[in-house]
A and B are shown apart, each in its own frame.
Chain A
């Protein structure tokens, strides 16, 4: 009875589905390249996949530097994915991650640029800001039964406009460049401390954001699987009624889940913007990071560690686009490929179903360990 077939294990199936989805995305990307310019399609695909490893010949230092950039840029999307999957496990679809990320940007840049705080306080502010945004959506859901998706979308826009107003001010925005000032110029103490910068070719953006991201993923893994809190959240996610029946406080859990999810999303913004790699510009649309996080969360099989891998993959392909030879291809092909892969992420569950199909649709009914069967027979006698 322990011999559950390898391919039937849920974890294996999720993994396979995700890998299949990624591979299919790459193949479709290749086909698109073929359509645009068949002669150079192989070369183009190779360029995307080789990515920054093209620097391996030129200099290891450069290679490591771009490896660092790659990691740095993967951080926010991974954390957004963590935020989404955390809420998802509790049965909440936190589409408000985009807004929570946006208020995280406000907190990060306002505290570091306008207030000149120390990085630790800035980071704390981003966490609080995201948490507050999550809290609002949570309260709406818990007390007024407003769907968290609706509340989330509304809050996304509110966050964006507040962000435009606050960061568009003189204290944060370099009016002549129409983007926020350099944290390194105004408040070097506001930058996150470096992390293995020497190893990564002196990449100044390599910061403790990287290890923190990994730690967060592990913490989420532990919380979900080992703690009473995770037990409650998942129970609520699987069956709200049963959670209520067993005396769990549904309202509190809804709010708490969205607060934590929001805090992670806010932190995603903090860990990105406080490296100094990115500046905020007045924007008329909500940052896509939160939405990409949804795709990454699903591509990662809704597993905290899977999200890291999926996030790295998506970022890798995104970065790959710039290495295409523009004489043959529009570099936006990479964006197209990413869009396709993200779209395919929606099919991860579909792939799982396919993998599952020829076997049991619903698992059997009446398994019965031999021991008890024997005992039952004894009873008969």
Chain B
């Protein structure tokens, strides 16, 4: 009997060994094929990798946009691409992902989100041959992480979210909505800029329309970048008390706003990318998402990579660019915009939108980008405590 047991244990051990031996041979096989692919891919010496922040590449927002843009570029130029997901939300884990990617041979790393400032501060100088393209990391983020000037192999882009927020708020009020809501993710600077811009836009539109006393904005941060029961409950309260439209501003938190909105035929405004298609698919309601406050993440990734491949890295090296409105006449080239291709608003038309953009461009409208305090307004703004 004992022998039988010993036998079975041995058997299991052998099985495992076989599995691993199998692994070994397979992996060496695939390595060699990869090597072959490498030599034929003479297009470029670059290999592109992306590291996700606290979210995933399916967040329908920041990570996903960056991922898709970088991947599309890599495929177009037939270079290798892979994304890396840190084991947890910490600098240490992000550094591990970075070094992992570098060890795998990737030399262009795209990192979306302010969270990466700490990682960049620690690795950039150790890996001068690796190009790092950061999105949304501000000067403040870097200095906070202990890096005052960026090394040559790093560039970063920030956006004037307050402009996108302003446009969304302005459009919503002009369209005729009076009871507005702002649902932020976590109270990080980018989200605050969106929010304060939204409030300023709504205020200016109401002043122009002369109904400032009727327009009201509920304002809250969820404290997280995803929706859950507590957030949905808050949204339910808002919508059932008359809120008509909510600017859901923070990663996956839009799900809570959408769930609540569908119950009472409310509306939402998307963020970062044109979310109308996604939301329409997800909730089966084409009119749910009225518009989106977009920033041109995909455009940035594409343009930067293109320039890098074209040998124009020096335009970016060591710089932090603050992207906003670059054209008063063609809104589609701007890095902050509303989606004109899926325009659904009737009272506020694309022509009105173009006029707004040109005013923003020429400075006849200025938007405050401070994140210190809620802007003073004539409309009433009701601030709620963070949900989480």
Q: Indicate whether A and B are direct neighbours in the complex (CB within 8 Å).
A: yes
- Cβ-defined contact, A54 with B103, below 8 A: yes
Give the B interface residue count (CB, 8 A). Answer: 46
Question: Is A277 in the interface zone, CB < 8 Å from B?
Answer: yes
Among residues 37 to 51 in chain A, which have CB atoms less than 8 Å away from a CB atom of chain B?
A: 40-43, 45-47, 49
Chain A minimum-CB-distance residue to B50: A326
Chain A residues numbered 309-350 whose CB sits less than 8 Å from any CB in chain B: 318-319, 321-323, 325-327, 331-332
Chain A residue numbers with a CB within 8 Å of B189 are 176
Given contacts A27-B19, A178-B187, contact A322 B96 (CB under 8 A): yes
* Interface bits A68-80 vs B (CB < 8 Å: 1, else 0): 0100000000000
A45 touches B19 (CB 8 A): yes
Interface size class of A (residues with CB under 8 A): 35 or more
A1-44 interface bits toward B, Cβ cutoff 8 Å, 1 = contact, 0 = none? 00001010000000010001001001100100000000011110
Which of B2-10, B261-269, B334-342 is near enough to bind chain A?
B2-10
Q: Cβ of A369 < 8 Å from any Cβ of B?
A: no
**Chain B residue contacts of A278, Cβ below 8 A:** 90, 92
Cβ–Cβ contact A55 & B96, under 8 A: no
Distance to closest chain A CB from B196 (angstroms): 14
A284 within 8 A of B: yes
Q: Is B186's beta carbon under 8 Å from chain A?
A: yes
Given A178-B186, A281-B89, A331-B85, CB of A49 within 8 Å of CB of B20: yes
B1 at the interface (CB under 8 A from A): yes
Report Cα–Cα, A181/B163, bound state, in Å. Answer: 30
A-B contact number at CB 8 A = 105
Expressed in whole angstroms, the Cα–Cα distance for A284 and B96 within the complex equals 26
Q: Secondary structure at chain A's binding surface: helix, strand, loop or mixed?
A: helix
Indicate whether A227 reaches chain B with its CB closer than 8 angstroms: no
Contact B82–A284 (Cβ < 8 Å) = no
| Interface residue? A247 (CB, 8 A) | no
> Please, how many angstroms separate the alpha-carbon atoms of A279 and B144 in the complex?
15
- Whether A66 sits at the interface, judged by CB under 8 Å, is yes
Closest to B6 in A: A7
Contact of A177 among B27, B30, B82, B114 (CB under 8 A): B114
Given contacts A69-B92, A359-B1, whether A322 and B12 have CB atoms under 8 Å apart is: no
Please name the residue on chain A nearest to B85 by beta carbon. A331
Q: With the chains together, A278 CA to B20 CA distance in Å?
A: 34
Interface presence of A175 (CB below 8 A): yes
| Interfacial chain B residues near A363, Cβ < 8 Å | none
A-contact 0/1 string along B52-88, CB 8 Å cutoff: 0000000000000000000000000000011111110
For residue B388, CB closer than 8 A to chain A, the reply is yes
Contact A42 B26 (CB under 8 A): yes
**Contact of B333 with A by CB under 8 A:** no
* Chain A contacts for B93, CB-based, 8 A: 322
Most buried by B among A7, A16, A177, A279: A177
| B97 at interface by CB-CB < 8 Å | yes
**For the complex, what is the distance from the CA of A358 to the CA of B1, rounded to whole Å?**
8
Nearest Cβ on chain B to A242's Cβ, whole angstroms: 34
Say yes or no for B22: interface residue by CB 8 A criterion.
yes
Which interface residue of B20, B27, B92, B99 has the most chain A CB atoms within 10 A?
Answer: B92
Task: For B144, list chain A residues within 8 Å (CB).
Answer: 176-177
Give the residues in chain A near B188, CB-CB below 8 Å. 176-178
Q: Which residue of B lies closest to A358 (CB)?
A: B1
Task: Give the contacts of A330-380 with B (CB-CB under 8 A).
Answer: 331-332, 355, 358-359
Assuming the contacts A62-B99, A358-B1, asked whether A284 and B23 have C-beta atoms less than 8 A apart, the reply is no
B37 at the interface (CB under 8 A from A): no
Interface residue B100 (Cβ < 8 Å from any Cβ of A):
yes
> Is A110 an interface residue when CB atoms closer than 8 A count as contact?
no
Name, among A5, A205, A282, A331, the residue most crowded by chain B CB atoms within 10 Å (CB to CB).
Answer: A331
CB distance from B26 to the nearest CB of A (A): 3
Q: Contact between A284 and B5 (Cβ–Cβ < 8 Å)?
A: no
Partner of B16, one of A27, A318, A326, A355: A27
A42 near B100: Cβ-Cβ < 8 Å: no
Establish whether residues B96 and A69, one from each chain, have CB atoms under 8 Å apart when the complex forms: yes
Q: Does B210 contact A (CB under 8 A)?
A: no
| A7 pairs with B83, CB closer than 8 A | no
Does the CB pair B5–A7 fall under 8 Å?
yes
A322–B86 CB distance below 8 A = yes
| Known contacts A42-B22, A45-B23, A284-B230; A326/B1 CB under 8 A | no
Asked if A58 is at the interface (CB within 8 A of a chain B CB), the reply is: yes
Establish whether residues B92 and A205, one from each chain, have CB atoms under 8 Å apart when the complex forms.
yes
- Whether B103 and A58, one on each chain, are in contact in the complex, defined by CB atoms closer than 8 angstroms, is yes
| A40-B30 in contact given A54-B103, A355-B5 (Cβ < 8 Å) | yes
- By the criterion CB–CB under 8 Å, are B15 and A27 in contact? yes
B384 to chain A, nearest CB (A): 16
Q: Verify if B383 is at the interface (C-beta below 8 Å from A).
A: no
Contacts of B19 in A (CB 8 A): 26-27, 30, 45
Residues of A within 8 A of B2 (CB): 5, 7
Contacts of B20 in A (CB 8 A): 45-46, 49
A49-68 contact mask (Cβ, 8 Å, vs B): 1 or 0: 10000110010001000100
20 contacts between A and B (CB under 8 A): A23-B16, A27-B16, A42-B22, A42-B24, A42-B26, A45-B20, A54-B100, A175-B187, A176-B140, A177-B115, A178-B223, A205-B92, A279-B90, A282-B388, A284-B224, A321-B87, A322-B87, A322-B93, A331-B84, A358-B1
* Apart from A319-B87, A319-B96: 4 A-B pairs, beta carbons within 8 A: A23-B16, A62-B99, A282-B223, A322-B96
* Chain B interface (Cβ < 8 Å from any Cβ of A): 1-2, 5-6, 9, 12, 15-16, 19-20, 22-27, 30, 81-87, 89-90, 92-93, 96-97, 99-100, 103, 114-115, 140, 144, 186-189, 223-224, 228, 230, 388
Interface residues of A (CB under 8 A from B): 5, 7, 16, 20, 23, 26-27, 30, 40-43, 45-47, 49, 54-55, 58, 62, 66, 69, 164, 175-178, 205, 277-279, 281-282, 284, 318-319, 321-323, 325-327, 331-332, 355, 358-359
Q: Which 9 A-B pairs have the closest CB atoms?
A: A42-B26, A42-B23, A46-B23, A43-B27, A331-B85, A178-B186, A46-B27, A326-B83, A45-B23
